[in-house]
A and B are shown apart, each in its own frame.
Chain A
Amino acid sequence: MRMAVTTPNETALAAGRGQSAPRWLLARHEGLRGLILLAPALVILGITVIVPFAMMGAMSFWTQVGFDYADDWSLRNYIEIASEPIYSTLLLRSLGMAMAATLLTVVLVYPMAYFLAFHVHRNKLLWLIIITLPFWTSYLLRVFAWRVVLGFEGVINTGLMEIGLIAEPLKFLLYSRTAVVITLAHAWAAFALLPIYVSLEKIDRSVLEASADLGEGPVMRFFRVILPLSMPGVIAGTFLMFIPTVGDYVTAALVGGPDARMIGNLIQLQFGTINNWPMGAALAITMILAITVVGLMFLGLMLALKRWAR
């Protein structure tokens, strides 16, 4: 759309404008700046998450033939998962155990976060470090530590026997679902604690005084103001803990008995001993879908609760 005849002055001006165009674009478009800032993360995410995920999705429609794959794009794996009860049993059990561990953790960790946010006034950082100290050691070490605590000759059993409360070791402590739930609850606690703490810390203290001023005692203050305002943290903590624990297999392998096997153990077997990668991929995809469904149901429940509470 340039005019055919331009004076030298105009040309210089246009050239100048052209040179500063990228800078001008950046200054004007906040979205573009954001995208540029995000770019490194997007590249890494793309390479390490989206590409492998797409490969796994594709592979789940293949079939294992001897030591090779046939890329025959069949639903055979999914049909097997749907028809064999072992898969749904393991999947439901994993979801159930992860839910139990998450619930246990959130309930136990909430008072800690509450204490930290409302009753610690000095050295908050020190307290945070102390509370997250167990997470400085390896995940495996923490799980092994629980074997020491829960074992037949472990801390709890010998302690209880010593004071004469029980005659013989409690068998359900180790190699059971209880053991897995307890260990998971401890191992992932920091992931639930931190978001809850942050959301409690963010609550404006004058809002609490206002609710007292408007006639509510400590209990109703908690349920009408503190809990609703910390729900974003509770929901974030729940997801941060629930999602990885459903697929956890180390804990189940180390402290769980035969009836505490989780879906993660089976997936690991498919990629390992059984050597049926397409089936493992299909199981992994199924698990992700199941987590998504449960997550959406949880969010729906929270929204319904919020509407009902008003």
Chain B
Amino acid sequence: MNSAATMISIRNVTKRFGVFAAVQDACFDIRAGEFFSLLGASGSGKTTLLRILAGFEAATEGEVHIDGAPMDAVPPHQRPVNMVFQNYAIFPHLNVRDNIGFGLRKLKLDKAERARRIDEMLELIKLPGFGDRASDQLSGGQRQRVALARALILRPKVLLLDEPLGALDKQLREQMQTELRALQRSVGITFVLVTHDQEEAMALSDRIAVMADGRVLQIDTPAGLYERPKTRRVASFVGSMNFLPGDLAVRACGQAAWQHGKADFIAIRPERITLHTDHPADQAGAGQPLPGRLTDRVYLGERVQYQVQLDGCAQHLAVSTPNTAPVVADPGTPVWLTWPAEAMIPLQDD
């Protein structure tokens, strides 16, 4: 994947609406064949950036190249990209076949070839025999598939997806995630997905750009973002995270293990912390276990989530253990926390 050519190149793109900057100085590349996600809360600028790629918004500054060609002067209908809209934007006056075949007019195909391609798409989205359905007789999931087929039938260089799974219920969403991922692999088209759902972004993407307040905070693989977040904001947005002042971490792990130099914060994932009901035996080279008191326990099925208040300070830590670990103690019980030195992520103040 790393050797793949650049498909989209975003160079210093800024978009202002009046004085408000929706996107500030975005500058990154998206590789050919990649599943790339723009992840951020609402108002982070991710949708604006996607609409700049589609051509519905013009960048105030900077430029976008798609497959090597500058896109500044290219209107949406001439760009080699297609989009799946958030509400799917199915044409209400056309049936499923005509929706899927809408973009084929320009290709001047004969009737048989046109029908063949539409059938092929219906097969791909697993809706064969639905061609003559009116668009208002489709469920949410079916509309989503039709929107996908309508965009993919034109074999675009890039498929843009604007929160395509947001309107679906949880089960259907998970099923569609799997299908979307498989589809992307089979067609080999570059996908750019906009989402606010970090689990969805992690499940689908090769790489993720985390955005907040119009800025790209970090671009990395899902594992990279989760294990090596660069800033506190990224760390807290992707998964749940404990933040500790540096000296506490030093106490817990001993000076020897602490070689990260100066850091304002230490971040530790809840699942990396081990919970002990008895004072654990000191291990050579490790720091001392931190004593605390259990304040809350939430049973989540596969995992159990604990809240622990450390003795002598107001700091609360979230600890998450798999359900297979013996369930310890009720709130109020004294506990001890330990974690391996490599679980600590040093962070600077944002």
Contact = CB atoms under 8 A, between A and B. Distances in A.
Interface of A: 204, 206-207, 209-217, 220, 224-225, 228-229, 310
Contacts of A220: 105
A210 B77 contact: no
Given A207-B92, A209-B76, 14 more contacts: A204-B92, A206-B87, A209-B54, A212-B76, A213-B81, A213-B82, A214-B102, A214-B154, A215-B154, A220-B105, A225-B91, A228-B93, A229-B92, A310-B98
B98 A210 contact: no
A213 B77 contact: yes
Given A310-B94, A310-B98, A215 B89 contact: no
A122 to B, nearest CB: 15
Given A206-B87, A229-B93, A310-B98, A214 B75 contact: no
Contacts of A214: 77, 82, 102-103, 150-151, 154
Most chain A C-beta atoms within 10 Å of own C-beta, residue among B77, B94, B106? B77
A210 B93 contact: no
Contacts of A213: 54, 76-77, 81-83, 151
Chain A interface helix/strand/loop/mixed = helix
Kindly name the residue among B90, B91, B151 whose own CB sees the greatest number of chain A CB atoms within 10 A: B91
A224 B94 CA distance: 10
Interface string B42-62: 000000000000111000000
A234 B83 CA distance: 31
The 10 closest A-B pairs by CB, nearest first: A214-B103, A210-B89, A206-B89, A212-B76, A212-B77, A228-B93, A213-B83, A215-B103, A207-B89, A215-B106
Nearest to A306: B93
B85 interface: yes
A216 B75 CA distance: 10
Interface string B98-118: 100011011000000000000
Nearest to A218: B77
Interface string B272-313: 000000000000000000000000000000000000000000
A207 B98 contact: no
10 contacts: A204-B89, A206-B87, A207-B90, A207-B91, A210-B83, A210-B85, A215-B103, A215-B106, A217-B77, A229-B93
Residue from A206, A209, A213, A216 with most neighbouring chain B CB atoms (10 Å)? A213
Contacts of B93: 225, 228-229
A302 to B, nearest CB: 13
Contacts of B91: 207, 210-211, 225
A229 B150 CA distance: 19
A215 B77 contact: yes
Contacts of A206: 85-87, 89
A310 to B, nearest CB: 6
Nearest to B82: A213
Contacts of A204: 87, 89, 92
B109 to A, nearest CB: 13
B272 to A, nearest CB: 43
A204 B91 CA distance: 9
B85 A209 contact: yes
Contact of B89 (A209, A229, A310): A209
A215 B150 CA distance: 12
Contacts of A210: 83, 85, 89, 91, 150
